[in-house]
């Protein structure tokens, strides 16, 4: 499988300087400080910006966890997973991978 996204882990920073138009903004970046996303909107609160950035920063870890959990649905104990759980895992993976 070829990944199209920037590999994780990702982190967030809330200390970027602001300009005349927006308040200080939150950035999701790689551990090498390569930016992934900037999160700031004038009509949201700084707390919501940070919460959104935290979710974005966790995306590579969440995708990995979903893939690992989905693999378990193929093992001898697959009966432990109900159909809704399996469908939710597969849908989340597909959404993250752009399928």
Beta-bridge mates of residue 11: 29
Residue with tokens 């989905």: 70
pTM of the model: 0.74
Per residue of the chain (99 residues), give pLDDT as tens: 566 788 888 988 776 655 555 555 677 888 888 888 887 666 777 788 888 889 989 999 999 999 998 888 887 766 777 888 888 999 999 999 887
Asked if residues 6 and 34 have their Cβ atoms less than 8 Å apart, the reply is yes
Residues in the chain: 99
What pLDDT score does 6 carry? 83
d(CA 7, CA 10): 8
């Amino acid at each position: 499988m070829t990944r199209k996204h920037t590999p994780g882990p990702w982190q967030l920073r809330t200390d970027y300087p602001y300009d005349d138009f927006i308040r200080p903004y939150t950035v999701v970046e790689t551990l090498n400080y390569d930016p992934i996303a900037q999160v700031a909107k004038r009509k949201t609160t700084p707390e919501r910006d940070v919460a959104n950035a935290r979710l974005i920063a966790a995306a590579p870890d969440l995708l990995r966890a979903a893939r690992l959990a989905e693999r378990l649905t193929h093992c001898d104990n697959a009966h432990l997973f109900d159909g809704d759980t399996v469908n939710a895992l597969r849908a989340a993976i597909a959404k993250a991978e752009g399928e």
